[in-house]
Amino acid sequence: MAQAQAHGTPAVPDNGIAPAAAHGGIAVEINGEHFAHTGDPQMPLLWYLRDVLWLTGTKYGGAHGGSGADLVLVNGKLVSAITQPMAKLAGKSITTVEGLAADDGTLHPLQQAFIDEDAIGCGYCTPGWLMAGIDLLKRKPQPSDADINQLPNSCRCGCQTRVRAAIKRAAGGKVGQA
């Protein structure tokens, strides 16, 4: 059963399951839309995103989030979605990979840089890299290889070298230039 309700504009996930009416619940803002979670307060944010809202960009990255595939921004801070119970997120603003592009579909500069550098293999790890890369570029606008190597993400397809190039391309403002 869907356990979310959007306030204002109803949010209906692409799966066609309309969120059930909710009274009270844990209010969160996700990618600019407001929801109230009325299910288990201990449900990890990752499952709320994927199984309730069908925002499936954020991936399972291990029980403790070690691979970085489940990274999202909570109030602008990089966190592992599997480690965050909904009960801790009341009133918080969450950004997932689905919230990075502009309303007109223009990709975030780092998303475009990943395309420009062909930094996507199977794509499983990509949303996590994007969130971590955005966080890194906020903290260090010109990151070094060492800065990028310290990100908690991993890639089983071996794209790390191209991911580094993509983050550096975004840092240099050269996105969209082949």
Per CB under 6 A, residues contacting ligand FES are 120-126, 155-157, 159
Instruction: Give the nearer residue to ligand FES in terms of CB position, either 28 or 155.
Output: 155
Instruction: Give the nearer residue to ligand FES in terms of CB position, either 92 or 162.
Output: 162
Measured from the CB of residue 121, what is the shortest distance to ligand FES in angstroms? 3
Measured from the CB of residue 157, what is the shortest distance to ligand FES in angstroms? 3
CA torsion sign, 173 to 153 to 102 to 77?
Answer: negative
Q: Which helix (H) or strand (E) holds 26?
A: strand 26-30
Distance between CA atoms of residues 97 and 71, nearest Å: 9
User: What number of other Cβ atoms are within 10 A of residue 165's Cβ?
Assistant: 18
Q: How many residues does the chain have?
A: 178
Measured from the CB of residue 59, what is the shortest distance to ligand FES in angstroms? 9
Instruction: Give the nearer residue to ligand FES in terms of CB position, either 139 or 156.
Output: 156
CB 39 within 8 A of CB 47: no
Q: In what order do the strands lie in the sheet with 93-95?
A: 33-37, 26-30, 93-95, 71-74, 77-80
Instruction: Give the nearer residue to ligand FES in terms of CB position, either 5 or 153.
Output: 153
Measured from the CB of residue 42, what is the shortest distance to ligand FES in angstroms? 29
